[in-house]
Each structure stands twice: as C-alpha cells, then as structure tokens.
A and B are shown apart, each in its own frame.
Chain A
Amino acid sequence: MKSSAAEPEGGKKYWLPLLAPASLTLLVFLLIPAGIVLRISFYPGSTTIGAEGYSLAQYGKFFGDSLYLSVLGETISYALIVCLGCLVLGFPVGYSLARHPPAKRRLRMLMVIVPLTLSLVVVVFGWLVLLGRHGLVNNLLVALGIVSSPQQLLFNRTAVVIVLIQQFLPFMILSVMNVVMQIDPVLEQASTSLRANRARTFFKVIIPLSTPGILAGLSLIFVMAVSAFVTPRLVGGPRAQMVGGFIYDQILSTSNWPFGAAMAFILLAVGFGLMAVLNATIIRPLTRGLHVR
C-alpha cells in the first residue's frame, strides 16, 4: 500500500538489482540444495556416487521398518509435548512482558534473548551439568531428602523434553509478546468494567486476540522440534532418540546419503504438513474475521 509517489521520478526498476544478491544466494544455496535432497532420496542404492534412476527404495525401507516408524512417532509426540510446554510456560511470560513498562522490561528481555542467541551446544552442556550425577538438581534433591542418593536424571525422555522446551521457549515468549503488544489494553479494561473477572477476561478476550501469535510460535517450534538432533543426541542417549539423530548418523557416520535424504524429507513433510493444516483450519479463518490492525 506504499504509495507509488515514493518511487523516484521515472520509476526505473533500480530496485531489481538490489534484490539480486540475497535472492540468488537463497536460490542457489537454499532452494537448489532442498531440491537436491529430494532428488537424492529417490536414488535406489546406499550411496550418491555414480547413482542414477528413481526408486522408492529409501521410503520403503523407512516405512517398512517398525523401528523407524516408532522413532518417527516418538519424534512427533516429543514435538507436540514441547509445543504444549512452550505454550503453557511461554504465554504468561510473553503476556507480562508486553504489559510491562519498557524500563522494567529491559532486564527480562535480555534474559529471554541471551538463551535464544547462545550456542545450542553451550545450553545443552549447561543442562548436562545441571542434571548430572553431581549436579545442582541432584544435590538439591538429596539435601531436601527427596531422594537418598543421586539419581540418573539424564538420558531419558523427560530430560530431552525439558531441554527442548527451554531451548524453544524464547520463540513462544517473543511471539506472544509481539501480538499482545498490539492488543489495546483498553479492551481488557472494558471487559473488567463490564464486570468480567480476571479469568473470564483472560479466556474471552486475551486468548482469542493473541491466537495468531500463539499459532505462529507453535508452528515454528514444531518445525524446529521435529528436526532437533543435537539435544536428543547429547541429552537423550540411546534410549530417547529422535529422527534427527538418525539422519545425522546416516549422513556423517554411515554415509548413506540417500536414506538420510529420505528421512530428512519425511521430517520436512511432517513439519510443513502440520503448518499447512494449522494454517487452513485455524489461522486463515481466524485472521479473516479479525482485523486487528
């Protein structure tokens, strides 16, 4: 809707070359690689060297093996639990951040942003120390008399879920914060002045208005969570695996790129599939009826 009056005289398309470096980079080094992964996944053998032809062998191998299928199921359930955890824990934080006066927001914002930008391995390493046999959590549990000796808190599903939730929480917090900041506080005051109590205002006013932000956060977190591999590898151990870890092994240890490619593509399809479903069923109808600025 920017007026064309902003165009310089003559309206020359001088902006076209401005787009070239970024879009060419993404075209050659993002789209083409994604296409290559799709192509490789249809190779019949276990190597890409000298491979040709098209076959569904890799997909057959994946969907014909109950081990892979159960890991895929686990991966999706992990991702869903992580989404739910991020929503329940992230919403109150994002909401309160949006309603904080800017001066008081600063330190809290930093506490959200720093973990987001910090290298994943460093964060995971921190959790290994926290949850380790001589870590803070174990020492606290023993000191409080909840357990008599240090427990193995790592290398299980709960640990993986906790660490993934912590990793992705900032995305939910910021997503909720951004959408709540656009909701006029007057709406909440109106609701209160009409004698709706806090709970009612929350569920009838705040939640519906922030749904677009919640869904944006959820779909981003889901896509990232299904393809996680560093966290399950380090925190999950052999008993709590995710598909991402299998792919990593196929690519870097076994060097079976075609099978790795097929699994990677399955993950991509699962992630985008959920986003498409969310978009068609909830987001679009919701944003159509709603014109919040």
Chain B
Amino acid sequence: MFGDAVGRIMAAVGKLVRALVYLALILPAVIVVATSFTSGDAMRFPPTGFSLRWYYAFWESSLFIDSLTLSLKVAALATVLSLLFGFAAAFAIERHDFSGRELMRGFMLSPLLIPAVVLGLGLMQLQVWIGLSQTFLGLLIGHVVVTLPYVVRTLSAGMVLFDRNLEQAAMSLRATPATVLRTVTIPLLVPAIISAGVFAFVTSFGNVSLSVFLGAGGNVTLPVQVLAYVEQTVDPLVAAVSSVVIVFTLVAILIADRISGPKSII
C-alpha cells in the first residue's frame, strides 16, 4: 500500500541521515588526530608517512605548553569553585520550597543564554574598573560563570532522582544533619558530582569564546592560542595540539561515562 511504501522510504532515509549525522559529528576530530601523525609539512588527507615530529614540536614550543598549563589550571580551579557554589545552590533549590525558586533556577541557567561577546565585553569593562583586568583571577571568574549552569543542572537532576528515605532513615537513627550530609547525601550523589565536575572541566578547558576576551594581554589559554595560530596558518603542529585537547576531553568524558553513564553527563 502507498502508506507502507512511504513508511519504508522514511525508515531508509532516516537510517541514512542518522549515519551521515554521526559521521559528520566525529569526522572533524578523527581527521585532526589522523593528520597529526604526518611526517610531512603540509596538512593533507590522507597524511604522508607517520611520525611523532609534530608532537615533539608541541613539546618544544613553550608558547603552547605554557597555554596548556594555564588551561589545565583554570579548568581545575573553575571546576572546584563551580562545584562548591553549584552544589550549595542546587541543594537549596531542590530541597527547599521558597518563593522565587523557579526564578532562581532560571537565573542559575542564564549564563547559557548570554552571548559570549556580551559577557566578554561586559566583564572586560568591569574588570578594568575593579582592577582585575588581564589577571588570572579575572579569567577564572569568567570560567566559573560559564561552568556554573552545567553544574547546577546536573546536580539538580541528581538530587531529584535521589531516594530521600535513606536520609530519613539516617535521621531516625539520630544522625545529625551534618553526619547525614557527609555519610549519606554526598556519597549517594557522587556520580552526579563527577558528571557535573567533568562537564565543568571540559567546558572550561575548551572555552574560546569568552577566554579570547579575558585572556587578551597575558593569560592565553590553549584554545585561544590555537585560534591565534590558525588565523595565521594551518599546519600539523596545530593538529598535534588539537589532538592533545581531544585526548584530554575524551578521557574526561569516558571517566564520567564509566562512573555514572552517558545520560548523566548532560
């Protein structure tokens, strides 16, 4: 029948589209890693030969290594701060019924909707006024702002799924609220905390849109350095640098996936 034919065509087209989408999603990263091992001087695919010379060039380049160190430092600190701030906020929002609770939830997620150019320019001007311009602290604050919404969202979701009876049981056994928090609540939320932390880390580690404004002058993170470099030239050195970024991101995501499953990361 006609309808069945349409259905079958839809199924086939759907399958093709899905295959193409998955391919397009991972192809850029796969190509970058593949070309980073080239022994030639030019970016071409398929690459010529196999060597680690561009990784060696990366290791020798203090420009990129300094940026990598800075990026790791900012990402680690931003993760810790936004986990602390985000856990407290998510706990208050999920556990207490107060007026303006939904407003507060929306406020916590609002950095997702402010374009980086707006946030970047506003923070630059504010930091000039309060003397944080082009400082490490200024950059770190920006990263906390952009990672906070992910942390609050993931932790909130984790707290909603949480079995409150376990806390009640602990309470009824005369555990103090602090003991309950330390021995029941937090341990049970470990998967959500890890997911939130990993997402905050990779978001900060990869951020370019905001860092490009806040890092102008001295604090150049790795993605900003890559951007500046790619604007001049496209060569296998950037492929090697990018591959390192890919590996860091992938490892972080795989850790979260192992511990708490892929669904919980988002």
Contacts and interface: CB of A to CB of B under 8 A. Distances in A.
B32 A126 contact: yes
Contacts of B125: 33, 36-37, 40, 48, 257
A92 B18 CA distance: 7
A33 B230 CA distance: 30
Contacts, number: 309
A122 B114 contact: no
Interface in B102-155: 104, 107-108, 110-126, 141-142, 144-145, 148, 152
A34 interface: yes
Given A126-B242, A128-B230, A130-B28, A96 B18 contact: yes
A21 B91 CA distance: 13
Interface in A233-260: 233-234, 244, 247-248, 251-252, 257, 260
Contacts of B86: 22
Most B CB within 10 A of own CB, among A4, A117, A127, A224 = A117
Interface in B178-225: 199, 202-203, 205-209, 212-213, 216, 222-223
Interface of B, secondary structure class, is helix
B161 interface: no
A34 B29 contact: no
A230 B209 contact: yes
Most B CB within 10 A of own CB, among A1, A29, A130, A224 = A29
A91 to B, nearest CB: 9
B246 interface: yes
A72 interface: no
B209 A229 contact: yes
Given A93-B21, A129-B43, A26 B91 contact: no
Contacts of A40: 121, 125
B210 to A, nearest CB: 11
A251 B119 CA distance: 12
Nearest to B257: A110
Given A4-B97, A22-B85, A170-B25, A130 B45 contact: yes
A10 to B, nearest CB: 11
A224 B42 CA distance: 33
Contacts of A114: 26, 29, 249-250, 253
A30 B249 CA distance: 26
B110 A26 contact: yes
Nearest to B164: A6
A60 interface: no
Interface in B57-111: 84-86, 88-89, 91-98, 104, 107-108, 110-111
Contacts of B45: 129-130, 134-136, 139
Nearest to B112: A220
Given A15-B92, A23-B107, A252-B216, A32 B126 contact: yes
A22 B88 contact: yes
Interface in B230-258: 230-231, 234, 238-239, 242, 245-246, 249-250, 252-254, 257
Contact of A89 (B21, B98, B222, B266): B21
Contacts of A36: 122, 125-126
A197 interface: yes
Interface stretch (A62-70, A262-270, A281-289): A262-270
A108 B227 CA distance: 29
A109 B118 contact: no
B84 A233 contact: no
B263 A109 contact: yes
> On chain A, which size bracket covers the interface?
35 or more
B31 interface: yes
B89 A23 contact: yes
A29 B227 contact: no
Interface string A116-143: 1111111111111110101110010000
A97 B112 CA distance: 24
A262 to B, nearest CB: 11
Most B CB within 10 A of own CB, among A19, A105, A257 = A19
Contact of A223 (B21, B84, B113): B113
* Chain A to chain B: the 7 pairs with minimum beta-carbon distance, closest first: A33-B122, A126-B28, A119-B206, A198-B7, A197-B3, A227-B115, A134-B44
25 contacts: A2-B96, A29-B141, A30-B119, A36-B125, A37-B122, A92-B21, A106-B261, A106-B262, A117-B202, A118-B29, A118-B206, A118-B245, A119-B242, A121-B230, A122-B206, A124-B28, A125-B230, A125-B242, A127-B28, A130-B31, A139-B45, A247-B121, A252-B212, A260-B117, A264-B117
